[in-house]
Amino acid sequence: MFELVIKSDFSAAHNLHGYKGKCEKLHGHNYSVEVFLQQENLDKFGMLMDFTILKALLDKILSEYDHKYLNDLSDFKELNPTAENIAYLISQKLRKKLPETIKIKVCVWESDRTGGCYYDVV
């Protein structure tokens, strides 16, 4: 199994509805995002996928969130904007653009020590 990874980031504000604690109040993060792709085979160039293409796909997705109040976005009308849900949504948006043979894992870090991941395995 081959795997590649890219990293990116975005900044945004959010608060968690129905949660009792610090995160129920409006606050922000400098989020760090890691995308891992896995596949059994490489292409004729010896790549799972061109980094430039994957980076462009991720940058387009993250531009929807960057410097926004996440709670106001349609993606979070029914989901709390947790690291886990952000990872899930990024994964689902990538899934629409990638071949089904590729397994996707997305990790979203709210700080150097806390984050959440989602595995989209077909």
Q: For the chain, how many structural domains are there in total?
A: 1
CATH of the domain at 55: 3.30.479.10
Domain that holds residue 53: 2-19+27-120
Is residue 35 within 8 A of residue 6, CB to CB? The reply is yes
Q: What is the CA radius of gyration of the chain?
A: 15
With a cut of 80, say whether residue 59 has pLDDT above it. Answer: yes
- The DSSP output letter for 89 is H
Predicted confidence band of residue 104 (pLDDT cuts 50, 70, 90): very high
| Structure tokens, 34 | 């890691």
Rounded to whole angstroms, the Cα distance separating 94 from 92 reads 5
Sign of CA dihedral 6, 33, 90, 113: positive
> How confident is the model over 7-26, as pLDDT tens digits?
999 999 999 988 888 888 99
Among 34, 36, 5, smallest CA distance to 112 is for 34
Confidence of residue 121 (pLDDT cuts 50, 70, 90): confident
